[in-house]
Amino acid sequence: MRATLLFLALAGAQELGPRDPADLAAGVARILSREEPLDASAVAAGASELLALGDVGAVLLQSLGTGRTPDALEGGGTRLGADQCALLRAAVTRLGPARLAAFVDAVEREPSSATSVAAALRVLALTPDARPRAMLVLARMAEANGCGAGVEDALEEALVAAFRRNARDCAAVAPAWKELGPMTASSVARALELTRDPEAVRCLGALLGRRSEFDACVLSALANQADLVSPADAETLANEVGTCLRARDSGCAQAACAVLVRLGVPSSVPSLIELLENDDPVLERAVLSALRAISGASLPASAGAWRSWFAREQEWWRERAPSEIEALAQASELETSLAELVARARELSSHPLFRDELVAAFGPLLGHAEPGARVLACQALQRLGSRLALPELCARLVDRDAQVVSAAHAALVALTGVDLPAKRVRWQRYLDAEAPSASVVPALGMVQPAR
């Protein structure tokens, strides 16, 4: 009840009317606790019903802050589900911009409670013209007041909403970065991660190294959206991240390993090898996992073994790969025998270190007139293990030859770990939802073999 009274003050409640706060809270809790799924019209009707209870602004804002129904029922409120949250947001929006702005102003003047700050941040998330800077100031003040722990989720939601409205707002983070406490900074990094926009990735890259104590957090966010980094930018980013491998903080170095794994850039292998024989067993394990993931090779934790392997791979890439790729490119013109194609495909697919670069080499083979050659290309792409091959393999699901369809399907299942039926529509839907955006994945034939 004390919390509700505090909210009444913060929310600038007008005259309470005939009902007391306990009755209002009980009424709101009853409506929010309904279990039926809510469509748009039901949400609108529910919001009207909530506002018809009386001056429920303070009660609604408190629930917005806690993410629970009001504390009216015996034993406290219950967690709001997605439908209830939608209903609550709709009702809060109907309180009107003036009322909401006044509430945010009041919280900004006295950000002493996590619930009120969280509510203010969620109000800002609903406000189309709210800027990230205001959100960061509010969260920073809350953290300084010792109530940062309760506002992390609300800050993430508000920032993600702002960044998605305008991706250029991601840049607003950089000037404030030096002033942020660990909780606010973590929420910022997470919001940039959840935004899933190349602009957010660039912003994260720019934050790297500015505050070493937050680098592990930034690297973790980068790792989780490395699929948004274009191949052209991957090497540059890998070089920047590589410098973090030498960080004093083992957690930062481990996070750098995670980014390098996701980027999969072969040039990052030497810096990982240098770190292999490390005194820190946890870091050594992370480095070895990273090397194995990037290389596709399963060597033991011996720097010497990895160095000689890498030298052999580089030599192969310089000396043999161009001629093999060229030969595959001319396969259809020169009427190369299937046996010869098998030998060439086998050689190329046994160098997964260059998996992304080699995907393009199999383009001509996938379009070969001979079904056996197309099957071979699907199998080789499966062995190679690059997700860049997914769009082309998906296209092969409508091949006129059943064996090609079967091979393409097997490769898709192996590369994604998802066992969908061999229907192009189903796979295309999955790729659109899960895989990197088409703008990032280069079309086959566009990747150059030479580095």
Partner 1 sequence: MRTRWGAHGESGSVLVTAAIVAMLLGTIVLVAVTIAKRHEQEADASVDELNSFYGADAGLSAALVELRNGGDGMLGSEQAPVTFGGLTYWVEADAVDSKVTSLVSTATDGHRQSRIEMLVRNDSSEITDFGIFGKKLVDLKSNSKIDSYDSSLGTYASQVNGAYAHSNGNVGSNDNIAVAANAKVYGYAQYGPDGGDTISLAANVTITDGYGAAKTQISLPAITVPSYASLGALSVGTNQTKTIGPGNLQYTTLATNSNSTLNVKGPCNLVLTSSASIKANSSWNFDATNGPINVYAKGDFELKSNSTVTTTSKDPTKLTLYLSGVHASASSSSPKIDFSSNSQFYGTVYAPDLALTISSNFELFGSLKASWLTLASNCKVHFDENLALGKLDPGKGYSVIAWRPLEGALAATE
The rounded distance, in Å, linking the Cα atoms of 170 and 205 is: 12
Backbone phi, psi, residue 79, to 5°: -65, 140
Are 52 and 30 spatial neighbours (Cβ–Cβ below 8 Å)? no
Near partner 1 by CB under 8 A: residue from 221, 244, 353, 358 = 221
CA 248 to chain CA mean position, Å:
27
Q: Interface mask (CB under 8 A) for partner 1, residues 241-270, using x and -? A: ----------x--xx--x------------
By beta-carbon proximity to partner 1, the closer residue of 283 and 380 is: 283
The rounded distance, in Å, linking the Cα atoms of 72 and 76 is: 6
Count of Cβ atoms closer than 10 Å to residue 206 Cβ: 16
Near partner 1 by CB under 8 A: residue from 51, 137, 176, 301 = 301
Asked if 18 touches partner 1 (CB under 8 A), the answer is no
Near partner 1 by CB under 8 A: residue from 286, 328, 361, 393 = 286
Asked if 292 touches partner 1 (CB under 8 A), the answer is yes
- Considering only residues 35 to 54 of the shown chain, the ones binding partner 1 according to CB under 8 A are 35
Single out the segment in contact with partner 1 by CB under 8 A; choices: 21-29, 50-58, 182-190, 439-447.
Answer: 182-190
Q: Interface mask (CB under 8 A) for partner 1, residues 76-115, using x and -? A: x-xxxxxxxx------------------------------
Start-to-end CA distance of the chain, whole Å, equals 67
Asked if 216 touches partner 1 (CB under 8 A), the answer is yes
The rounded distance, in Å, linking the Cα atoms of 306 and 312 is: 10
CA dihedral angle for residue 244, residue 248, residue 253, residue 256, rounded to 10 degrees: -20
Near partner 1 by CB under 8 A: residue from 193, 197, 356, 399 = 193
Asked if 275 touches partner 1 (CB under 8 A), the answer is no
Asked if 413 touches partner 1 (CB under 8 A), the answer is no
The rounded distance, in Å, linking the Cα atoms of 308 and 270 is: 11
Asked if 190 touches partner 1 (CB under 8 A), the answer is yes
Q: Interface mask (CB under 8 A) for partner 1, residues 323-362, using x and -? A: ----------------------------------------
Tokens of 156: 């993430």
Tell me the residue type at 320.
Answer: R
Asked if 205 touches partner 1 (CB under 8 A), the answer is no
Asked if 132 touches partner 1 (CB under 8 A), the answer is no
Q: Residue holding tokens 């093999």?
A: 324
Least distance (Å) from partner 1 to the CB of residue 85? 7
Asked if 208 touches partner 1 (CB under 8 A), the answer is no
Burial per residue of 176-199, b for 16 or more beta-carbon CB atoms within 10 angstroms, e otherwise = bbeebeebbbbbbbbbbbbbbbbb
- Considering only residues 362 to 391 of the shown chain, the ones binding partner 1 according to CB under 8 A are 387
Close Cβ partners of 120 (under 8 Å, ≥ 6 residues apart):
103, 104, 107, 108, 111, 138
Asked if 307 touches partner 1 (CB under 8 A), the answer is no
The rounded distance, in Å, linking the Cα atoms of 386 and 395 is: 16
Residues forming contacts to partner 1 in the complex (CB under 8 A) are: 35, 74-76, 78-85, 148-150, 152, 182-183, 185-187, 189-190, 193, 213-214, 216-217, 220-221, 223-224, 251, 254-255, 258, 282-283, 285-286, 288-289, 292, 298, 300-301, 387, 416-417, 434
